[in-house]
Structure 1
Amino acid sequence: MQLPQIDQPEQLKSLSVDELTSLATEIRQFLIEKLSVTGGHLGPNLGVVELTIALHYCYNSPKDKFIFDVGHQAYVHKILTGRMDRFDTLRKYKGLCGFVKRSESEHDVWEAGHSSTSLSAAMGMALARDLKGEDNKVVAVIGDGALTGGMAFEALNHIGHEKKKLMVILNDNEMSIAPNVGAMHNYLSKIRSDRHYLRAKDEVEVLLKKIPAIGGKLAKTVEKLKDSLKYMVVPGILFEELGFTYLGPVDGHDLQKLIEAFRQADNVDGPVFVHVLTTKGKGYTPAETDFYKWHGITPYKIESGQVLKSAGNPMYTDVFAQTLIELGERDSRIIAVTPAMPGGSGLFPFAKRFPERMIDVGIAEQHAATMCAALAMEGMKPVFAVYSTFMQRSYDQIVHDICRHNANVMFAIDRAGFVGADGETHQGVYDIAFMRHIPNMVLMMPKDENELRHMMFTALEYNDGPIAYRYPRINGLGVSMDETLVSIPIGTWETVREGEGYAVLAVGPMVQVALDAAEQLKRDGIQLQVVNARFIKPLDEDMLRSLAKSRTNMIVLEEACEAGSLGSAVLEFYASQHLFNTTVSIMGIPDRFIEHGSIKEQREETDLTVKAVCEEIHALMSLHPYEYSQRNFPS
């Protein structure tokens, strides 16, 4: 057994290739066993075991910089850099992060939870190295799906132009999370599938060397012949033309071939592109046969691959998925658009029912947003289904191409609020702040899954510009579902519990927190009004004026960053109206990043709990006492 003895990467250098191969088998078994309990990104990490071992065998981390695109493919890297004993805490509160984390280890040099950033980071590190006169290696590991991201192409272009010495490793497993799409995927498929490509480059170089050096016009003709031959038979010509030396394809599960490829790359004075072929989920049959399901997995039974899920109400995403099909039956103009997340966004059922009306653009949020604007301008009803955290990547397009044009795009913003184990890179807590200030935008969030259905219908009926509905990554409340969908008047809130003197304006899941707090406060004789502030933009100005007129002191309760979200909007409105006879307290997410853990733990850390609401109401009462009448308030 090698694995228990490895806690620093330099220990690998004393092992033979056969011993490294045995180590790879042990690491796979370790991951399969540990993640069956904790859950996590199993498929991506099983696919990069040999690749990661070979990197640490050939290079010297942390002097040499390893940059893992996205970061969820770095479990093996964590094992080899002294964190194996912490895997029982993977993705748990205060435990081992599921992504690369600089505060965890000196070997983690770049953090990422989004795709397509590694090449830009590698270029920055290579530039800094050369400016400082250092001699370390810089290696970026990027998945083939991430090459659909425009940022990756921008970096490839710059790296090829500058000719800095660095290595880009393409981990080509034909998958990102869902199956890859696009011209780059098709191009790589040609390289993967042609057996002759493996030897073509060497053969053409031998052939070219046999052409004698001749001057004049004939020499130019020979050069053209060389180029023609190169285009005909050399694999990876696109990367060669971008300024890289292309090596591969290399079997990503053959340690000897990987080591040889890296040593060959070291002899190149300039950027090298190493094309490595891997199998996602390698070594565990269920993960090899169902790429999507096993990309990120909850706890499971090792023998059968059965996922251990607790029973519960349908998730908001499931409700969105079913309702979108219902709306698609009514209106043939609806087109669903996703940036490489058809499964996570719940669009597989819609794609099955309406294959011609579901478009997966790959990891390309910017393109998706602008394309949706054009679809809307041509009379279609595009639904941009996107995680809150990934929508951040399309901010400029939302401002410039959607809102400025007042294009009638519908945003289905999934994973709004805390997301649990994925942590700070994936928290959906900033979209309110960066969307509500954009002219023409309508932004809403439901208190339960039934209201989500009505909001989806409201968005479909709305024709005056962009409109967004955001919903969390949790199970619904289990409320009954209305068969008939109705449009909610834009900018209207609803009082879900009557009260006097004090109120909570709550958004989304926080409405139920406020209702539970109201029940507790009732025991103290406090009649707390609870308002479902379902429209974040536009505000219900009539209700806000009424609350101020009655001198109601209030809390704005939201699972979003305090700066710029609903609480800020309420304060801005009162300031603009010169209404200062009420006190507004904001309860949201403070100005810091919230790390991984359960959603319950994240809410406790940020005081978004029933207990915290009750304490805040009592604090308001000490500052602004209110004499209650004897009237009875319905619960």
Structure 2
Amino acid sequence: MSVLEKVNEPKNLKGLTKEELKALAKEINEAVLYKVSNVGGHVGPNLGVTEMTIALHKVFNSPVDKFIWDVSHQTYPHKILTGRKHGFTDGHFHDITPYTSQDESEHDFFTVGHTSTSVANALGYAKARDLTGDKGNVIAILGDGSLSGGLALEAINNAGDFDGNFILIFNDNEMSIAENHGGLYRELAKLRESNGQAEKNLFKAFGLDYKYLEEGNDIEKLTALFEEVKDIDHPIVLHIHTEKGHGYDIATNDKEHWHWRAAFDLETGELKNKPSGKSYSSILMDYMDQQMQAGQPILAINAAIPGAYDLKTFANKYPKNYWDAGIAEQFTITFGGAAALAGAKSFIFHNSTFVQRAFDQFVHDLAINKEPAVVFIKGDVISNSDKTHQGDFARGWISNIPNITYLAPTSEEELLAMLDWSMTYQDGPVVINIPEHGVESRPAHITSFNQAQYDMIKSGQDVALIGLGGLYSHAEKVAEELAKHDINASLINPLFISSLDKKMLDELSESHKVIVTLEDGVLDGGFGQKIASYLGSKDVKVLNYGADKEFNDIVPVAELYKRYRLAPELMTQDILEIL
């Protein structure tokens, strides 16, 4: 019997020998690799904390002692040790969530998928413990670049004023998603080099006790450290140096690309389904290169996600024109907007699920000051992602901020037209939603975006289909279905997400019985509702199609399309019933 077969809950660790614990670490890593090689997932972050997780569960008594994790991509070993190892076997990969979940296990306390939250969450738990007379250690586990996030630093500052048991583990694997950036991480490197003895110590500056462990993948030394601080009566930081991807050479040799990986071959590391063809990211990088060659002062900015846009292509060629802020979305918007106001051409790159952390900066800095930066957003679509990374909310909140020109191209040509226009536009910020349904080729009939102007692709009667961005091609499919019923629908490409072409909407309301909007985001507060509100006094029926306001958790897109009646045949049924 393997060691892992004997471990079904944390208490099973207590009597294991040193040799058995080492064997257990190897078996946990094999289980993690087996799962992620089959269905994809976070590789390096999980492999790097296996030994630390084993030591935590050996020394402390979960769930009385509370482990409060930061980004959940460090929690696969924790899940395996807390009764969820079945989720790493064939046929059960999706039986457990890819993040911590209090609904899934008594050993989890929050549903967490984003970064920099653990210290504030844990401090809240520790404060409540003391107020209610409860017992137990509270341990926050922070890592993978999360320290640069504003919330983490705010929480550490407040932890300096806390009077009671509080243990902060800083898992220092020298990496964020990609490499770390900023002066903070240079000083952390000096702490590592000096075995924690460097004069400048961020944690002590906040008033916290501090201990350093260099051998962060050594179970025996980790166990000794945790025994030393167990039941401590004041806040302390345990700065632990780990290796991202530990135990899997392919991952340790290329830490950035092995932070997260789609399904791959375990022996070679090669992806099982390699992407092919042109991408909107490559189009953007080629465009930026052309503008740099023409002498434009491009400044490419992102928050620790260069791989999402292949930004390293640009960074390697123009290092002075590239800025990776680390996990600091708020900073990128204020910094990039100010640079644009001062004469640079800021191109700011974000993922929808992460950029929501910068809502205030969009409002207070970018929009109020009319800063002419260009923000690109990917992932704002109805997808099969987990609820902690659901990206289809951005349209709703961005589209309700004044002074922002918010655009949705449907093709390569339209994206390039928007980029050309944005290079000379100085009256405010531009946000461009990057389509997620593959690169399409479609002529750009509109090349100026100073005011809303929808593109009438095909003029028909009775039914007008307005398909936004990536769902314009979906509207085309609905038109094909309606044609089978002898209905010649109008097709409109709106291009603008938040601004209305009132002239065209008035004309459509006079010549059509039904106006249908399609969008790839949440309906409440979104594109379609704005059109419905404007046409409320008109004698025309408006149907809005998009996502309900809800959290979805790894639901197949086809199932969501049926739920929201976004499938072309279902929309066609609805339209026919109204007609």
Displacement, 1:325? Answer: 2.4
Check conservation: 1:89, 1:95, Cα contact below 8 A: no
Check conservation: 2:73, 2:99, Cα contact below 8 A: yes
Residue 468 in 1 paired to residue 426 in 2?
Answer: no
Q: Which residue of 2 aligns with 1:34?
A: 35
C-alpha distance in 2, partners of 1:110/1:62?
Answer: 13
Which letter does structure 2 place at the counterpart of 1:83? R
Which letter does structure 2 place at the counterpart of 1:162? F
Residue 543 in 1 paired to residue 507 in 2?
Answer: no
Displacement, 1:305? Answer: 1.2
For residues 36-185 of structure 1, what are the structure 2 equivalents within 5 Å? 36-88=37-89, 95-185=95-185
- The structure with the largest alpha-carbon Rg is 1
The 3 A distance-change label for structure 1 pair 611 and 91 is: farther
For residues 552-567 of structure 1, what are the structure 2 equivalents within 5 Å? 552-567=513-528
Residue 431 in 1 paired to residue 415 in 2?
Answer: no
Residue 513 in 1 paired to residue 474 in 2?
Answer: yes
Q: Which residue of 2 aligns with 1:493?
A: 454
C-alpha distance in 1, partners of 2:282/2:101?
Answer: 32
Q: Which residue of 2 aligns with 1:594?
A: 552
C-alpha distance in 1, partners of 2:319/2:448?
Answer: 27
TM, length-normalised to structure 2? 0.95
C-alpha distance in 2, partners of 1:172/1:528?
Answer: 58
Which letter does structure 2 place at the counterpart of 1:72? H
Displacement, 1:499? Answer: 2.3
Displacement, 1:287? Answer: 0.4
The secondary structure found in structure 1 opposite 2:260 is coil
The 3 A distance-change label for structure 1 pair 538 and 154 is: same
TM, length-normalised to structure 1? 0.87
Which letter does structure 2 place at the counterpart of 1:315? S
Structure 1 gaps, min length 5? 199-232, 622-635
Check conservation: 1:459, 1:468, Cα contact below 8 A: no
Displacement, 1:37? Answer: 0.9
C-alpha distance in 2, partners of 1:443/1:427?
Answer: 20
The secondary structure found in structure 1 opposite 2:529 is helix
Which letter does structure 1 place at the counterpart of 2:462? G
Which letter does structure 1 place at the counterpart of 2:514? N
Displacement, 1:294? Answer: 0.8
C-alpha distance in 2, partners of 1:181/1:518?
Answer: 49
C-alpha distance in 1, partners of 2:178/2:447?
Answer: 34
Which of 273, 277, 280 is the aligned partner of 1:316?
A: 280
Q: Which residue of 1 aligns with 2:312?
A: 348
1:538-559 CA distances to partner (integer Å, 9 max, x unpaired)? 2111111111122431121111
Over aligned residues, Cα RMSD in angstroms?
A: 2.2
Which letter does structure 2 place at the counterpart of 1:51? M
Displacement, 1:369? Answer: 1.0
Displacement, 1:88? Answer: 4.9
Which letter does structure 2 place at the counterpart of 1:361? A
Check conservation: 1:345, 1:387, Cα contact below 8 A: no
Structure 2 gaps, min length 5? none
1:362-402 CA distances to partner (integer Å, 9 max, x unpaired)? 11111111111211221111111111121111111111111
Which of 524, 527, 533 is the aligned partner of 2:488?
A: 527
The secondary structure found in structure 2 opposite 1:563 is coil
C-alpha distance in 1, partners of 2:131/2:530?
Answer: 46
The 3 A distance-change label for structure 1 pair 87 and 397 is: same
Check conservation: 2:467, 2:494, Cα contact below 8 A: yes
The secondary structure found in structure 2 opposite 1:251 is coil
C-alpha distance in 1, partners of 2:436/2:107?
Answer: 32
The 3 A distance-change label for structure 1 pair 371 and 39 is: same
The 3 A distance-change label for structure 1 pair 310 and 605 is: farther
1:309-342 CA distances to partner (integer Å, 9 max, x unpaired)? 2454433333333333233333522211111112
Q: Which residue of 2 aligns with 1:220?
A: none
Check conservation: 2:60, 2:230, Cα contact below 8 A: no
Check conservation: 1:408, 1:466, Cα contact below 8 A: yes
For residues 399-410 of structure 1, what are the structure 2 equivalents within 5 Å? 399-410=363-374
Residue 620 in 1 paired to residue 578 in 2?
Answer: yes
C-alpha distance in 1, partners of 2:573/2:485?
Answer: 12
1:102-158 CA distances to partner (integer Å, 9 max, x unpaired)? 222222211222111110000111111111110121111111511111111110111
C-alpha distance in 2, partners of 1:316/1:601?
Answer: 26
For residues 167-246 of structure 1, what are the structure 2 equivalents within 5 Å? 167-194=167-194, 197=195, 233=197, 237-246=201-210
Displacement, 1:608? Answer: 2.4
C-alpha distance in 1, partners of 2:312/2:154?
Answer: 31
Residue 457 in 1 paired to residue 420 in 2?
Answer: yes
Check conservation: 2:31, 2:88, Cα contact below 8 A: no
Check conservation: 1:403, 1:438, Cα contact below 8 A: yes
Q: Which residue of 2 aligns with 1:610?
A: 568
C-alpha distance in 2, partners of 1:358/1:405?
Answer: 23
The secondary structure found in structure 2 opposite 1:283 is coil
Displacement, 1:90? Answer: 9.6
1:580-604 CA distances to partner (integer Å, 9 max, x unpaired)? 2111111111021111245444434
Which of 249, 252, 272 is the aligned partner of 1:288?
A: 252
C-alpha distance in 2, partners of 1:320/1:485?
Answer: 19
The secondary structure found in structure 2 opposite 1:240 is helix
Check conservation: 1:250, 1:257, Cα contact below 8 A: no
Check conservation: 1:138, 1:167, Cα contact below 8 A: yes
Displacement, 1:91? Answer: 11
The 3 A distance-change label for structure 1 pair 487 and 269 is: same
Which of 286, 296, 303 is the aligned partner of 1:339?
A: 303
Check conservation: 2:111, 2:388, Cα contact below 8 A: no
The 3 A distance-change label for structure 1 pair 115 and 380 is: same
Percent of residue pairs bearing the same amino acid type: 33
Moved more, 607-616 or 515-524: 607-616
C-alpha distance in 2, partners of 1:63/1:389?
Answer: 32
Check conservation: 1:411, 1:467, Cα contact below 8 A: yes
Which of 218, 225, 234 is the aligned partner of 1:254?
A: 218
The 3 A distance-change label for structure 1 pair 363 and 457 is: same
C-alpha distance in 2, partners of 1:476/1:605?
Answer: 26
Check conservation: 2:245, 2:251, Cα contact below 8 A: yes
The 3 A distance-change label for structure 1 pair 493 and 480 is: closer
Which of 307, 322, 341 is the aligned partner of 1:358?
A: 322
The 3 A distance-change label for structure 1 pair 468 and 312 is: same
Check conservation: 1:36, 1:298, Cα contact below 8 A: yes
The secondary structure found in structure 2 opposite 1:33 is helix
Check conservation: 2:187, 2:201, Cα contact below 8 A: no
Check conservation: 2:46, 2:245, Cα contact below 8 A: yes
Check conservation: 2:69, 2:142, Cα contact below 8 A: yes
Q: Which residue of 2 aligns with 1:215?
A: none
The 3 A distance-change label for structure 1 pair 523 and 493 is: same
Check conservation: 2:379, 2:392, Cα contact below 8 A: no
Check conservation: 2:437, 2:470, Cα contact below 8 A: no
Q: Which residue of 2 aligns with 1:385?
A: 349
The 3 A distance-change label for structure 1 pair 297 and 268 is: same
C-alpha distance in 2, partners of 1:121/1:105?
Answer: 17
